[in-house]
Structures are given as structure tokens and as C-alpha cells.
A and B are shown apart, each in its own frame.
With several copies, the nearest count.
Chain A
């Protein structure tokens, strides 16, 4: 049992508050047409930030699904910078420096779970210490990849933490249409691994569960399936209108259990948090995201960047395509070859 200290909890809360604030800014940027579709972090802050704090950024890895980046800053400030590049659609948006042990977003749901298991397995083969934590949603747990990867992890005793964030929804599909299972943690038995179900709105409980799973993995006892129960407080993404399917009362009830409010209340009672701290934390977070956004939109981009890093070197056909593109780009007047209109 490793309950986080109150100071750790305050650090976690700082990350949570920052993520929420930055998520709001990102939402607005999307509404202004400055960035692409965004998946809000609201309601996931405790589970993501507390997990990041229970892990060791120097040795452990995190595979996000897509809601997590803003709450992963403990793994390095580069996460935010890269995520802004991602949001503006820059190809560097999924490249983090080698020191930051966060995998790129895989987009295709649940495909990251076997990646995480493979990496955990590979680390044991290389005698590298560390565990791999992979986030995935309740919806994603219905994909075959979850099953195949969890089973493989069990057989290999891979040092992995399979962290299912059950936020009750997969876009518009409620949990009871996603599965008839009473809990998702129940699935662990079928893979011969421990399964725990925790309150994902309770940062301390998350920290503790992840810490225990981590210790187990580091001691060679293999993977753990954690089901963190939360509620998706925001829209699925900026393209979604949840009022079409989420009953207002249900959402209101969930809002009363907001993970930020809960932890803030607790820490305030200990004299470790107050509105002023919140205000300055938010202000700093916004300053950082604004800076990251400015950097992102001014990040250079070669005219033929579309070809870079597909292979280590261009195939003959790609080389021709690249040349043709460069020629078309440097040809000043488009009138010659284009449509005149």
C-alpha cells in the first residue's frame, strides 16, 4: 500500500487543473478553426495524472489512447509541445524526443495494447527495468486486440499495466450496450492475471493501484488489469454533441463527483490548496499552452515533408514523386500547368 503523500497529491492536482484549463483553451482553438478535432480530458484528469505520478518517467512507459496528453506532463514538458504540433496537424506531432517515454497515439482503437505488451516483453528480454502502462477505454475493451494482448501478457508475464478507463461511454454507446459484463476488471481472471476495479475519480486510489501493479510487474509477477471507473464529463470530441444522448441528470450527478473538485476539497481541508493557487496554476498552464501553440504554428515544414520517414530512404517511385512535387512547388506560376480560372 502506497498512498501518495499530501504533497504528491498536490502535485497531481496541479497537473489535473492544468490539463483541464489547457483542454478548455484547446476547445476554443478548435472552435476558432485553429486546430483539428480535440478529445477533451474532462473527467479523466485524476486517473491520468495520478498514474503518471505513480510511474517512473525515467524507466516506465506510457501508451496513451488519445484523451491523455494534457495530463501527462509529469513525463516531460515536451508532451505538451508535441501535442500542440499534433493538434495543428504538423507531422512532428507524434515525435517526442527519445528521453520521453510516451508512445504516439495509435488512432485505431486498442491497437496500442499489443504494442505495449510487446514493449514490456522486449524490456524484460533486454533486462531493462521498468513497466509499461497502456490506457484504453471501455469501448476499446471490446476490440479483439484487447483480448489478444491481455492473454499474451498473461502468458509472458509481461511487466505491463492494462489500464482501462471506463468512462461509461464510447461516443454515444453506453456501457450496458458495450458489454453485459458487470465489471471490466472481471475479465482479468480469463487471462490468469489480477484485475482491480478502482474509483478513477480518487487520485489517491489510482496512485495506489498503479503503484501496486507496478511493484508486482517489477517483481516479475506479470501484468495487472486495472479498471478505473470515471465519467466522461465533456463531449466525446469537438465533433460530438453529447446532449443528444446523455441524460442531463446523469451528467449533473457525475459533475458533482468531479475529480478536481474532490481532490481540491481534500487538499483545501489540509491547507494545501486554495482558489489563489488554482488561479495561478491555471494562468501558468494557459501561458504554456499558448506558447506551445505559437511554436506549433510556426514550426518549419519542408515542402516535401510528406515523404520523410516513410522509409529510411525513398523507393525509386517515391523519389520520382518527391521530385515531381518539388518541381511543381518551385515552378512559380501555376498557370502553365494548372487550370486557368
Chain B
């Protein structure tokens, strides 16, 4: 049995970075304020002191240059792990991320290996200013050549980050702001790797499955637990990685339950929940006993603090969707 420690998600991310930097000298960290202060959330705490200023680099304030220079670092044979201070500011680097990082291998037909990981906090619930909370995973998942990973537990944060850094393909690694300190759990000590592309059945159940990722898994599990207490049997599937998407896990659980609710925090139109619904329809249409319902953010920009609780899907909205789907026949 592996030893574990109880950590917050933030601590487990920090542990993964420590482990990967120690394991592979090619790993270099770059980003705004990641060195001296250890990141605005302290995700990179202690790394500058331990690995020095050549491997943990405070860059100028320019996301395009952070992501763009990571391409060059990768061409030099290094394994860059870049931090974007908040995912909303990845828009400043989208030309490098979508147009360059995601295509380097394809363009060069395998000559260059973009073993690049880009970490960014995202998601709401903590009263940030505009653009600090935006959930862009739907947009990111439509960028071919980019893997999109979004852990929901402390243990997965460590294991999936390690896997992302070791992956020779580029990965955008999404860290839930609310989860940094709000999610904690037992995390295996030492080397811990969770392969990309496999979903996790967070709750078993037969009546309906809630499909979610990142912080929404936390909410989905609470809803499932509450409804289990009422005698219902609700499964929760934590996708963990949106690209690659675990088609088998989705179809297995939906085939069993026949009913599904998909939860996301992003604006609904064009969000990734739509992709999940389409996938379910393709894979499991004949098992479906009711329409698949999406619980999403509204079709408005992520709003200011006073409107946040209205906007962000909560347990109440998820539970209502579950009941509605169960009632539907």
C-alpha cells in the first residue's frame, strides 16, 4: 500500500512540480511571478529556492512570449511548464497556443516534440475581477493537437499534472481556483501518475449519471450523495481529461443508467457540455430514456461578484436538472 498525505489541491500541484523537476532536469518553469513569490497562489512555492533561477523563471508580463518561447524551449529539447496567471489571459497567447504549440508536431511531422505543459487557474466562485474566472475549456477542446486536462481531486491534480508534464504532446492543465484550497484529500506520496484520457467514476449509480469535470465534480458528488440519501442511485463521471475524451467510460455508464446530466460552468452555447451530449447521442442513443440535460453557466460573460452566485451552477441547479431528467418519460 502506498502512503498518502492529506493535501489541498494547491499543495498537491506544488508536490507534482517538485517531483517532476527533481525527476527530469529538462523541466523548466516559466511565467509571471512564479519565482521569487512562488506564484500569485503559491503553486510554485519553494521551487525557485530549490531549483534556481535558471529553471524557475519570472518572465516579463507577456503571455504570448511565455507560450511562444515555450515552443522554442521545447525545440531545444527542454520540457517547459508555463503558467498563465489566469486562464482568461490565455487569450493573449491564443495565436501561440492554438496556432503554434498545438501544431508544431503536426507541422514538422514529428521532427519537433512540443512536450509543453501550460498550467492555468480558472473557474469561479471566489469573487475575482473580470476574466479571472472564465471557463474556456470548450474553446480549448476545439484546438486539434492540444490535450485538455482538468482534475477534480487533490490526488488527480498531482497524478495528472505529472502525466501532463511527461506527455510528449502539449497539454493545457486547468486548475480550479475554488479547488486550490477548497478541495483536499489523500494524495499518494512520491511518484504518482494518472494516465491522461481515462475518466473516473466518482460515484457509482444506476438511475442517472452526472457527467462533470474540475470543480463541478465536487458539486455533482454532493448532489449524488444527497439524493442517494433519498434512495436514488446517481453515478458521477469525472471526465478528468476532455481531450483525449474517454468514450468508453462515457458509454459504459450512460448505457447502464439511460439518463444523464452534464454540468459545466462555462456559457452554454458552444461549451464543452454540448460536446459531451453529442458524444452521448452518438455512442448511446438507443440506451437513452430521457433527453440529456445540460447545467451550464448562462450565455453571458462571467459576471461581477454580486451576480456570481446566480451565474455559477450550484447544487440546487444540478439537483433540479437531475430530478427533471428522472421525471422525464
A121-B72, A148-B60 given as contacts; is B111 within 8 A of A106 (CB)? Answer: no
| Chain B positions 126 through 141: 1 when the CB is less than 8 Å from some CB of chain A, otherwise 0 | 0111111000000000
Q: Is the CB of B69 within 8 A of A334?
A: no
CB closest chain-A residue, reference B299? A318
| CA gap between A306 and B95 in the complex, in Å | 22
B22 within 8 A of A: no
A107 within 8 A of B: yes
Q: Is the CB of B33 within 8 A of A118?
A: no
A2 within 8 A of B: no
Q: Is the CB of B306 within 8 A of A148?
A: no
Contacts of B319 in A (CB 8 A): 337-339
| CA gap between A95 and B59 in the complex, in Å | 31
B77 within 8 A of A: yes
CB distance from B240 to the nearest CB of A (A): 14
CB closest chain-A residue, reference B170? A311
Q: Which of A114, A309, A325 contacts B71 (CB 8 A)?
A: A114
Interface residue total, chain B, C-beta cutoff 8 A: 90
Contacts of B147 in A (CB 8 A): 311
CB distance from A324 to the nearest CB of B (A): 9
CB closest chain-B residue, reference A89? B305
A145 within 8 A of B: yes
A residues 129-168 touching B (CB-CB < 8 Å) = 132, 139-140, 142-145, 148-149, 151-152, 155
B28 within 8 A of A: yes
| CA gap between A316 and B239 in the complex, in Å | 14
B300 within 8 A of A: yes
A171-B37, A315-B245 given as contacts; is B76 within 8 A of A119 (CB)? Answer: yes
| CA gap between A334 and B323 in the complex, in Å | 13
| Chain B positions 219 through 244: 1 when the CB is less than 8 Å from some CB of chain A, otherwise 0 | 00011001100100000000000011
Q: Which of B61, B99, B222 contacts A140 (CB 8 A)?
A: B61
Q: Is the CB of A107 within 8 A of B244?
A: no
A28 within 8 A of B: no
| Chain A positions 293 through 327: 1 when the CB is less than 8 Å from some CB of chain B, otherwise 0 | 00000000101011111111001111001100100
| CA gap between A325 and B300 in the complex, in Å | 13
Contacts of A315 in B (CB 8 A): 197, 243-245, 299
Q: Is the CB of A339 within 8 A of B304?
A: no
A88 within 8 A of B: yes
Is the interface on chain A under 10, 10 to 19, 20 to 34, or 35 or more residues?
Answer: 35 or more
| CA gap between A109 and B107 in the complex, in Å | 16
B46 within 8 A of A: no
Contacts of B108 in A (CB 8 A): 94-96, 104, 309
| CA gap between A115 and B105 in the complex, in Å | 14
CB distance from B200 to the nearest CB of A (A): 16
Q: Which of B89, B304, B316 contacts A89 (CB 8 A)?
A: B304
A122-B78, A144-B92, A171-B32 given as contacts; is B100 within 8 A of A106 (CB)? Answer: yes
| CA gap between A109 and B298 in the complex, in Å | 26
A93 within 8 A of B: yes
| Chain B positions 233 through 263: 1 when the CB is less than 8 Å from some CB of chain A, otherwise 0 | 0000000000111111000000000000000
Contacts of A128 in B (CB 8 A): 76
Q: Which of B110, B145, B197 contacts A316 (CB 8 A)?
A: B197
Q: Is the CB of A312 within 8 A of B92?
A: no
Q: Is the CB of B244 within 8 A of A115?
A: no
A116 within 8 A of B: yes
| CA gap between A115 and B68 in the complex, in Å | 5
A95-B109, A306-B298 given as contacts; is B72 within 8 A of A108 (CB)? Answer: no
Q: Which stretch, A173-181, A216-224, A253-261, touches the partner chain B? A: A173-181
Contacts of B129 in A (CB 8 A): 36-37, 105, 107
A125 within 8 A of B: yes
A330 within 8 A of B: no
Q: Is the CB of A306 within 8 A of B311?
A: yes
CB closest chain-A residue, reference B311? A306
Q: Is the CB of B62 within 8 A of A144?
A: yes
A118-B68, A339-B316 given as contacts; is B78 within 8 A of A126 (CB)? Answer: yes
User: By CB atoms of chain A within 10 A, which of B28, B130, B247, B306 has the most?
Assistant: B306
Q: Is the CB of B128 within 8 A of A108?
A: no
A89-B304, A109-B61, A151-B65 given as contacts; is B33 within 8 A of A172 (CB)? Answer: yes
CB distance from A16 to the nearest CB of B (A): 25
A196 within 8 A of B: no
A62 within 8 A of B: no
Q: Is the CB of B169 within 8 A of A312?
A: yes
CB distance from B109 to the nearest CB of A (A): 4
Q: Is the CB of A311 within 8 A of B145?
A: yes
Contacts of B78 in A (CB 8 A): 122, 125-126
What would be 28 A-B contacts, judged by CB atoms less than 8 Å apart? A36-B128, A91-B306, A95-B109, A95-B111, A96-B111, A103-B75, A105-B129, A107-B99, A115-B69, A115-B72, A118-B68, A118-B70, A118-B75, A119-B76, A126-B77, A144-B64, A145-B68, A148-B62, A148-B68, A149-B68, A170-B33, A239-B40, A308-B110, A309-B105, A310-B145, A317-B245, A317-B268, A328-B317
Given A148-B68, A306-B300, A340-B226, 10 more pairs with CB closer than 8 A: A96-B108, A103-B75, A107-B131, A107-B132, A116-B72, A118-B73, A149-B68, A171-B37, A306-B311, A310-B300
* Residues of A in contact with B (beta carbons under 8 Å apart): 36-37, 86, 88-98, 103-109, 111, 113-123, 125-126, 128, 132, 139-140, 142-145, 148-149, 151-152, 155, 170-173, 177-179, 239-241, 244-245, 301, 303, 305-312, 315-318, 321-322, 325, 328, 334, 337-341
* Residues of B in contact with A (beta carbons under 8 Å apart): 28, 32-33, 35-37, 40, 54-55, 58-65, 67-78, 80, 88-89, 91-92, 95-96, 99-100, 105-112, 127-132, 144-145, 147, 167-169, 197, 222-223, 226-227, 230, 243-248, 268-269, 298-301, 303-308, 310-311, 315-317, 319-320, 323
